[in-house]
Amino acid sequence: MKNALIFGLTGQDGTYLADFLLKKGYNVFGTFRRTSHRCFERLEEIGIFDDITKIKADISDQTSINSAIRQAKPDEIYNLAAQSFVGVSFQQPILTSDVTGLGTLRILDSIRDNAPDAKFYQASSSEMFGDFPGKKDEKTCFRPRSPYGVAKVFAHHMTNHYKEAYKIFACCGILFNHESPLRGLEFVTRKITYELARVKYKKQKKFSLGNIYAKRDWGFAGDYVEAMWLMLQQKNPDDYVIATGESHSVEEFLTLATEFMGMGDWKNIIEIDKTLLRPTDIENLVGNSSKARKELGWKPKTSFKNLVKEMVEHDLEYVKLRTDPLSE
């Protein structure tokens, strides 16, 4: 039985990946941070909490990373841990660089000392491309437009440096936006389905959005974690773009979600709040994942329409059972 260690177990992707690896027969270890509240809601929601060995570690702390790697004795390590919210990275650029950028370097350095034969997956991001025009693939230049994007570029290059210099089996998955019913409430897709459900149940009347004309290449997180695993099963390590190849605007997402909720015109519900606009944003992100489709045999299984429908159906149930307001 193989051991897998997931940094960032408690996040959206960590949860789907843990579930995927358990079904493949892995012994799954995952890290969580010390917080003042419980952080295992997602694992509990999909019923895998008891099946994982949980290790307390923070990727801004080298000692805890070393202990986690020594304890798990991993065959495969997935680094999904990050300050992953682009909007916050403008307000907390130093923390974002420390966690999202240097955090990756700390893990790489620990692998070099403690698990040089482990295979490593780095969660790179389409945010690294910034506003480079057209469909982006593995050869497209990086022109990041946020502190988060800059930190991910650092982590991406550092991962490739460790691969070359120390022969670590390291892969970067350059993933475009992927969403799900387990998406964090501050990201725009989940914010829309969660808040619309609250409006539907009369828990609030309105909510605010920022740039509704921005377009993203939105896939389903459950499909994307399979690609992470496939990368580590190849003969040689390499980097791959993972994307659906279509982009849709925030406005389109909102319109479709409102329809699935069986609600009227969203214009009566949404206010545009200029404070939610970012100092720099990316107007359109769309990827070309031909290399992954050809070499990994991967392709997305969930359409944009079904993704929105699943998120709406989830949040209609979820909101019915909850009372806490969203705070951003």
∠ CA 6-315-53, nearest 5°, is 20
- Residue 148 annotated in active site: yes
Q: Which of 64, 97, 127, 195 is catalytic?
A: 127
String of b and e for 99-111 (b: at least 16 CB within 10 Å)? bbbbbbbbbbbbb
Q: Pick from ligand G4F, ligand NAP, none: which does 237 bind, CB < 5 to 8 A by kind?
A: none
3-state SS class at 191:
helix
Give the nearer residue to ligand NAP in terms of CB position, either 160 or 263: 160
C-beta of residue 2 within 8 angstroms of C-beta of residue 73: no
Q: Which of residues 171-190 bind ligand G4F (CB under 6 A)?
A: 176-177, 186-188
Smallest distance from ligand G4F to CB 12, Å: 8
Q: Which of 84, 97, 125, 126 is catalytic?
A: 125
3-state SS class at 56:
strand
246 scored as a contact of ligand G4F (CB under 6 A): no
Q: Where are the beta strands (DSSP E) in the chain?
A: 3-7, 27-32, 53-56, 76-79, 119-125, 169-175, 178-179, 207-209, 215-216, 219-220, 240-242, 248-249, 270-272
Give the nearer residue to ligand G4F in terms of CB position, either 211 or 234: 211
Smallest distance from ligand G4F to CB 210, Å: 3
Give the nearer residue to ligand NAP in terms of CB position, either 99 or 269: 99
123 scored as a contact of ligand NAP (CB under 6 A): yes
Site string for ligand NAP, 69-88 (x = CB under 6 A): -----------xxxxx----
Considering Cα of 34, then 148, then 84, then 200, what sign does the dihedral take?
positive
67 scored as a contact of ligand G4F (CB under 6 A): no
Q: Pick from ligand NAP, ligand G4F, none: which does 76 bind, CB < 5 to 8 A by kind?
A: none
Q: Pick from ligand G4F, ligand NAP, none: which does 209 bind, CB < 5 to 8 A by kind?
A: ligand G4F
Q: Pick from ligand G4F, ligand NAP, none: which does 93 bind, CB < 5 to 8 A by kind?
A: none
